[in-house]
Amino acid sequence: MAREFRLPDIGEGLTEAEIVRWLVPEGEHVDADQAIVEVETDKAVVEIPSPYAGTVVKHGGAEGETLQVGAVLVVIGDEEEEPKSVPEPVTVETGDSDQTQGSAFQEPSELASVAPIVGTISEEAEILSPPSAGPAGSGSGVKALPVVRKLARDKGIDLTLVAGSGPGGRITREDVLAAAVEREPEQPAASPQAAPTEESEEAVSSPAEPESQPMSRLRRTIAANMSRSWSEIPHVTTFDDVDATRLLEVRTALGSRHQKKIPIEALVVRAVLPALDSYPEFNASLDGDNLVLHPNRDIGIAVDTPDGLLVAVIRDAESKSVLELADEVARLGAGAKDRALGPSELTGQTFTISNIGAVGGGHGTPIVPHGTTAILSVGRARDRVIVIDGDLVVAPVMPLSLSYDHRVIDGGQGRRFMAQVMENLEEPALFLAS
């Protein structure tokens, strides 16, 4: 007997998801808990496992199609069952509102035998090859990120004909762009003797038409979040600079002793934690007329990815050492760039740090993420002439920009918070001992 599996809510408030790639084609066997499809939500690309064992009778949508939560994702039947069409949900009137029969929830008797549906992330998240061979048209055996696959579709490039230059033969964005250049026909050189015609003159003089490009799902999500924050939160931004001499010395010493790279974000997180203890309004959220002070320090780290800005979250940062924070920053940064983080790793921060210095930035006006009260932006440390004990010296100076919600935090409180953060950054012993 065929059973429908409907798209579950795999994230906080998920309403829809785009099918990136089917891992098991129609007509093939699938085991219970085997990954059957990759979907892209607002922020993450995750694999969804099958709750049943059997034959994939019908896919609920094609690759690139968007499904609503509760829509039929896949139909799984007994072995050798023939594919069939997927029924549409039936809407019935119930008086005040409409309800849809056949929702994402199953009867209790069925739920008892079904494992929880969650997204899974493989150890090599950048290699998104399916576990079983699929049809040639589905890109079976091709190692490429979803964003690269979309670029290839837009450019009309067959990924099975592209040699990957990335790790393990993974096809990169540059490989696709190079293949697109190679397939462009060569333009014949203009003959110097040919006299320009009236049509050619018009073609030269006519302006180029503007190109309209649809924004990606992630870009639309970023735009909606930024608009909401900017329209609802009265922002105040304060700027300052710190002498980063000791901070950079400590970073170098730790890296040398432990033979590992220490991201600057790991040290900044440790420097901010004592200030969050002193001023809990900065680790809070506004709920109507109530200010909710969060007991944990879940620090968001802004990550610049090829698809757009993502904020990865370090859970319980106050419980981690600098070395543990360094490992977590590296892991989350790599996972965000590969779109391999789950929804729980991309939501729920209580304070945010944005290292715009990683892309050469200085001061900025960061936007406070909705649901929080503050964000600290850290710029690149550059050598400048400063005064120390009455003498002019050259030292690495790091720009800081702190934006906060003026409904919750006054200017004086903002300055006191910034002063403690600056003091910690200028002398790391103050936060390393805590």
Residue 23, SS3?
coil
What is residue 303's DSSP assignment? Answer: E
Contact by Cβ (8 Å): 216, 307: yes
Question: 15 vs 379, which has greater pLDDT?
Answer: 379
Rounded mean pLDDT, 141-164: 79
Residue 233 in this model has a pLDDT that exceeds 80: yes
Question: Mean pLDDT over all residues of the chain?
Answer: 81
142-183 shares its CATH topology with 235-432: no
Residue 37 in this model has a pLDDT that exceeds 70: yes
- Give me the pLDDT at residue 115, please: 32
Catalytic pick from 294, 363, 370, 406? 406
Among 7-11, 44-48, 296-300, which range has the highest average pLDDT?
296-300
- Give me the pLDDT at residue 133, please: 37
Say which CATH architecture domain 3-123 belongs to: Beta Barrel (2.40)
Question: What gap in Å lies between CA 349 and CA 334, rounded to an integer?
Answer: 18
Q: What angle do CA 256, 316, 258 make, to 5 degrees?
A: 10
Rounded mean pLDDT, 218-246: 92
Question: What gap in Å lies between CA 173 and CA 159, rounded to an integer?
Answer: 11
Q: 210 CB contacts (<8 Å, ≥6 apart)?
A: none
Q: How confident is the model at residue 326 (pLDDT cuts 50, 70, 90)?
A: very high
- Give me the pLDDT at residue 203, please: 53
Q: How confident is the model at residue 367 (pLDDT cuts 50, 70, 90)?
A: very high
Exposure string of 290-299, with b = 16+ CB inside 10 Å and e = fewer, is eeeebeebbb
Fold (topology level) of 142-183: Dihydrolipoamide Transferase (4.10.320)
Residue 381 in this model has a pLDDT that exceeds 90: yes
CA 67 to chain centroid, in Å, comes to 20
Among 48-57, 58-67, 316-325, which range has the highest average pLDDT?
316-325
Exposure string of 7-16, with b = 16+ CB inside 10 Å and e = fewer, is bbebbeebee
In the block, residue with structure tokens 């219970």? 32
Q: 292 CB contacts (<8 Å, ≥6 apart)?
A: 284, 285, 286
pLDDT digits 0-9 by tens, 77-117: 876 555 554 444 433 333 444 444 333 334 333 333 333 32
235-432 CATH: 3.30.559.10
Q: Lowest-confidence range among 156-165, 318-327, 356-365? A: 156-165
- Give me the pLDDT at residue 12, please: 58
What is residue 239's DSSP assignment? Answer: E
Return the domain boundaries, the chain: 3-123, 142-183, 235-432
**406 part of the active site:** yes
* Virtual torsion, Cα 317, 324, 305, 381, nearest 10 deg: 90
* Helix locations, 126-190, DSSP H: 146-155, 173-183
